[in-house]
Amino acid sequence: MQINLAPDLSLPAIMVIFFLNYLIVKRFFLKPINDVLEARETESKTAEKLHDEALARFNEATSQIEARLHAAKRDAAQLRERYRGEAATQRQTMIDKTSTDAKAVVAEADAHLDKDVKEARETIVRQSEALAREAASRILGRAV
């Protein structure tokens, strides 16, 4: 059996059929698959881009909220300190007023007590003199 290596007319026909087969496969099989793969890749990149943008917006919003929260805490601390200062001032004023009022009441009571003591001493002196005269008159039996 001898192999004939010379090309015959079937070679160009096979090449034409192979080329047509390539065009048909490319057109109806490879191109749609490549289009789907490219669409998936585009969607994936778009989704990743949207995710990154959303994450950036989220981080920015978070930092803004944290900054506002920090400012609000600082303002609240200043307000609290101001009210504490005002309360301390008012407390000291009330303590001073109460102390002054108490001293006035004590001074008034002390003056009233001194007056009562003086009156009691005068009464004791008068009564003791009267008792002494009466005792002397009873002892002597005559009016003194």
SS3 state at 1: coil
Predicted confidence band of residue 25 (pLDDT cuts 50, 70, 90): very high
Asked if residues 137 and 144 have their Cβ atoms less than 8 Å apart, the reply is yes
Q: Is the pLDDT of residue 6 over 90?
A: no
Predicted confidence band of residue 9 (pLDDT cuts 50, 70, 90): confident
> What does the chain come to in residues?
144
Q: Is the pLDDT of residue 31 over 80?
A: yes
Lowest model confidence (mean pLDDT) among 28-37, 83-92, 93-102, 132-141: 132-141
Say which residue, 9 or 26, is predicted with more confidence: 26
Asked if residues 123 and 130 have their Cβ atoms less than 8 Å apart, the reply is no
Closest CA to 27 of 16, 38, 35: 35
The predicted pLDDT at position 131 comes to 87
The predicted pLDDT at position 1 comes to 63
Whole-structure pTM value: 0.48
Any idea which residue has 């490319």 for tokens? 26
Q: Is the pLDDT of residue 122 over 70?
A: yes
Closest CA to 72 of 64, 88, 60: 64
Say which residue, 23 or 134, is predicted with more confidence: 23
* DSSP secondary structure of 52-101: HHHHHHHHHHHHHHHHHHHHHHHHHHHHHHHHHHHHHHHHHHHHHHHHHH
Q: Is the pLDDT of residue 7 over 80?
A: no
pLDDT, the chain, mean:
92
Tens digit of pLDDT for each residue in 48-72? 999 999 999 999 999 999 999 999 9
For residues 37 and 136, what is the distance between their CA atoms, to the nearest angstrom? 142
The predicted pLDDT at position 87 comes to 96
